[in-house]
Amino acid sequence: MTGNQYSGKNKNPDNNDAIVVKNLSKQFRIPHERKITVYQHLAGLIAGSYSYEIFDALKDVSFTVKHGETFGVIGPNGSGKSTLLKILAGVLYPDKGTVQMNGKIAPFLELGVGFHPDLTAEENIYLYGAIMGLTKKAIASKYEEILDFAELKRFENMKLKNFSSGMAVRLAFSTAIQTNPDILLVDEVLAVGDESFQRKCSQKIDEIRRGGKTILLVSHDLGMVQRLCERCVLIKDGLVKSSGSAERVVKDYKNILSPGNMMP
C-alpha cells in the first residue's frame, strides 16, 4: 500500500528520474447491480446479495521517466491508459505498487477543470489558476499574458456561458500552461481550438519540452507520439506489452492492431 507521495516534496536532486512507477496494479470492482442509495443497500442486506466482477485495469506496470524526457503511453481503448494517468495525477489510489513523482506536477487530464459558466473570463482565470495550484499573485502577474495568448482580451468581462467551446478551451489552455510545472501529464488535449491556435499550442508544448520539462503524453495519435516522444510504453489489457524507443513501440503497436499478425 502506498501513502500519498504525489507532492513535489520528495524532490531529490540526485534522482534522474522524474516518474518512477513500480509494480503498479489497480483493480476495479464492478458490481452487477450498482447500489447508490441507502434504500438499495438496505434491500441488498436483506436479500443478502453483493456480487461483483473484478476488473484488472492495470497489472504490474513498471516504468521510469527521466527528467526532461517526453514519454508516450499508447494502447487501444480500455487498455488502462487513463487509469494510469489518473493514478499518476493522484486522483485514483493504486491497489499495489508505488508511484514516485519527483517535481511539481500539472495534470492536463481535462482542460478547464472547475470552469464556471456564470463567471466572467477574468474570474474563471483566477479560479482555474488557483485550482491548478497558482497563487493569486502569480496569476495576477501572468494575467495579461494569459489573455493575450488566448486572444480573448476583448472578452475579458464576458461570462463564460456566452463563449464558444473553442474560446473556452483556449482560455483554459492559456491558463493551464502558466502553471510552470516540472512534470506535465497530458491526456490528448493538445488538439484544441482552430488550426492556428493548434499550431500555437504545439509550439508552446515544444517550447516547454525544450525547456527541460518532463512530459508524459497519452495519445492515440501515433504520428504525434513518434514525433514528440523519445520513449514509449504500449499498454494493452492492463499489461505493459512493449517499451523502449518510440519508433519500436509504435511499430509493435501497429503489429498488434493489424489482424493475423501476432506479437512474438
Partner 1 sequence: MWLMQYRDLIWNLTITDLKIKYQSSVLGFAWSLLNPLLMMLVLYFVFANVFRFNQEHFALYILVGIIAWRFLANGTSTAMLSIVAKPSLVTKIYIPRHILVLSSTLSSFISSILEFCVLIPLLFVFGANITPYILFFPIAHAIFFFIVYGLSLVLAALYVYYRDLNQIWEVVIQLGFFLAPICYPITIVPPKFLPYYVLNPVTILIETYRNFLIYGVPPGLRSMVYLVVSAAMLMIIGKLVFKRFERRFAEVI
Alpha-carbon torsion, ordered 114, 118, 122, 127, to 10 deg: -30
CB of 234 to partner 1, least distance (A): 24
* Burial class of residue 184 (count of CB atoms within 10 Å of its CB; 0-12, 13-18, 19+): buried
CB of 119 to partner 1, least distance (A): 7
CB of 240 to partner 1, least distance (A): 23
For 127, other C-beta atoms within 10 Å of its C-beta total 17
| Smaller CB separation from partner 1, 32 or 210 | 32
| Smaller CB separation from partner 1, 97 or 243 | 97
Comparing C-alpha atoms, which of 25, 21, 19, 3 is closest to residue 96?
25
CB of 170 to partner 1, least distance (A): 18
CB of 256 to partner 1, least distance (A): 28
| Smaller CB separation from partner 1, 28 or 143 | 28
| Smaller CB separation from partner 1, 8 or 68 | 8
CA–CA distance, 199 with 255 (Å, rounded to integer): 31
Rg of the chain over Cα atoms, rounded to whole angstroms, equals 21
- Contacting residues toward partner 1, per CB under 8 A: 6, 28, 36-39, 41, 86, 89-93, 107, 109-110, 113-114, 116, 118-119, 123, 126-127, 130-136
| Smaller CB separation from partner 1, 46 or 262 | 46
| Helical segments of the chain, H only | 38-47, 81-89, 121-131, 136-150, 165-176, 195-210, 222-228, 246-257
